[in-house]
Amino acid sequence: MRAIRQASGDESSVVFIPPAPVITSALTATGNLSASFNCSIITTNYPTSFFVISLPLGLSFDPASELIFGILSVTGNVPVTLRAMNSGGTGSTNLALTIVPEPPARIDSFTMHHGFGLSVLALTNRHSPVEWIGNLLNTNWTALTNGIPGSATTQTVTDPATNLPARFYRLKVYP
């Protein structure tokens, strides 16, 4: 911290100037296309203003909470410039943001209780239907559900049929 002594006539004062802000948060972040994204920017030395430059489409920055947030809408590697300022100067660095394609929905588990239940995790907003068939030589799959909406939570689909001959299930994933 620097101190500047100011004098004017019979009065004098000392003004303390803090060091320039330092951005101490992680300098890399990864997110999935079409998924919710949050990244906190952590700084020292009491910045009074912030700038984030070159955010990809779908992301915003809230300087009050020091948070980058939104729904990622492009893939690739995006260099994002972070700047924090106070009366002592400017701290600047780059955040290497990597946006990867969305992961497909997946079956997490299955249960046998009052029918057959499939627990499906879908991170992004695509509808992935669950279908069944009684004989793998047949090609006419029957829909159990029209789709699992992507909400980043595990959802359970239940086939209420019990005491049936073999059934085969599939989760269709669309690109």
pLDDT band at 148 (very low <50, low <70, confident <90, very high): low
Contact 79, 55 (CB under 8 A): no
Look at the chain and count its residues. Answer: 175
How far apart are alpha carbons 32 and 25 in whole angstroms?
20
Q: Percent of the chain, pLDDT > 90? A: 42
Q: What is the mean pLDDT of residues 15-27?
A: 92
Task: State residue 95's pLDDT score.
Answer: 97
Separate counts of helices (H) and strands (E) for the chain: 0, 17
Contact 57, 74 (CB under 8 A): yes
Task: State residue 81's pLDDT score.
Answer: 97
Distances (CA, A) of 174 to 75, 122, 140, 158: 18, 12, 18, 21
Task: State residue 25's pLDDT score.
Answer: 96
Task: State residue 103's pLDDT score.
Answer: 73
pLDDT band at 92 (very low <50, low <70, confident <90, very high): very high
Residue 40, beta-bridge partner list: 67
For residue 92, the one-letter residue type is: S
Task: State residue 19's pLDDT score.
Answer: 94
**Residue 1 pLDDT > 60, yes or no?**
no
Average pLDDT, the chain: 82
